[in-house]
Chains A and B, each alone.
Chain A
């Protein structure tokens, strides 16, 4: 996966993406025990376009030029299917802005903070998010104060209480 991360870092250096961070299942695995997933979800902030249109085309074009093929909604980068997801709401924008650099082998990767990953699970609210949420709370080390502020800012306190009480 190191080679995949180097490609993501290169895309950012080249300005194809303004900022990226790993989220989803692989983001969670940085903080908890591994569990099954086949995709690497990468949240991105795209450079501003003159018309204000948000499109992933520049990423796909740049990757195609590097020889990486599209596979449905993913692009296979160095053997890993990567799904690019634009930050489409305030929580994701904040999560990307505050994501942290983490070492992976000889390279670095930007990964969402655990507090934001938990908040995104709450906000997304699918069955699999709920299952993952309870394990994530047990295993990930989170800053409780920071987590509280994130939840309050994005209107997730009530759902947090509901999900915690159901465990």
Chain B
């Protein structure tokens, strides 16, 4: 790959990070909950006890992720 193309890709990646950093915090927290749901099954397989947040206006997280965390506090699926 040409150096200029690589430079463009790195710059685009950096620009995307900055765009994400400038999102409204409510949107960032919704993204965080998506990340939690994606990572939770892997972390649980490794023995870590993690729980996906159940926040207002929940993102479309798979129900089994909530179920896996149920039994701790108020983790009922919506």
Inter-chain contact A31/B21, CB cutoff 8 Å: yes
Q: Does B10 count as interface, using CB distance less than 8 angstroms?
A: no
Rounded to whole angstroms, the CA-CA distance of A139 and B16 in the bound complex is 11
Q: Does B63 count as interface, using CB distance less than 8 angstroms?
A: no
Which listed segment binds B: A46-54, A75-83, A88-96, A118-126?
A: A75-83
Question: What is the predominant secondary structure among interface residues of chain B facing chain A?
Answer: helix
Contacting residue for B72 out of A36, A71, A140, CB 8 A: A71
Which residue of the partner chain B has the closest CB to A136? B21
| Binary flags per residue of A27-39, CB closer than 8 Å to B gives 1, else 0 | 0011111111110
Contacting residue for A79 out of B14, B50, B55, CB 8 A: B55
| Binary flags per residue of B27-50, CB closer than 8 Å to A gives 1, else 0 | 011011001100100000000001
Inter-chain contact B21/A71, CB cutoff 8 Å: no
In whole Å, how far is A107's beta carbon from the nearest beta carbon of chain B? Answer: 11
Inter-chain contact B14/A33, CB cutoff 8 Å: no
Number of CB contacts from chain A to chain B under 8 A: 81
Taking CB atoms, residues of chain B closer than 8 Å to A34 are 20, 28-29, 31-32, 35
Taking CB atoms, residues of chain A closer than 8 Å to B8 are none
Rounded to whole angstroms, the CA-CA distance of A29 and B20 in the bound complex is 10
Report if A76-B73 is in contact (Cβ < 8 Å); known contacts: A1-B53, A38-B51, A104-B25.
yes
Taking CB atoms, residues of chain B closer than 8 Å to A68 are 73-74
Inter-chain contact B74/A76, CB cutoff 8 Å: yes
Taking CB atoms, residues of chain B closer than 8 Å to A78 are 54-55, 74
Taking CB atoms, residues of chain A closer than 8 Å to B39 are 36
Taking CB atoms, residues of chain B closer than 8 Å to A71 are 51, 72-73
Known: A68-B74, A79-B55, A104-B26. 17 other contacts (CB 8 A): A1-B53, A26-B32, A31-B21, A34-B20, A36-B39, A38-B50, A38-B53, A69-B73, A69-B74, A71-B73, A79-B74, A80-B54, A81-B73, A104-B25, A139-B17, A139-B18, A139-B21
> Can you list 29 pairs linking A and B with CB atoms under 8 Å apart?
A1-B53, A1-B55, A1-B56, A2-B55, A26-B32, A29-B28, A30-B25, A32-B21, A33-B17, A33-B28, A34-B20, A34-B28, A34-B29, A34-B31, A34-B35, A37-B32, A38-B36, A76-B73, A78-B55, A79-B53, A79-B54, A79-B73, A79-B74, A79-B75, A80-B53, A80-B55, A81-B51, A138-B14, A139-B21
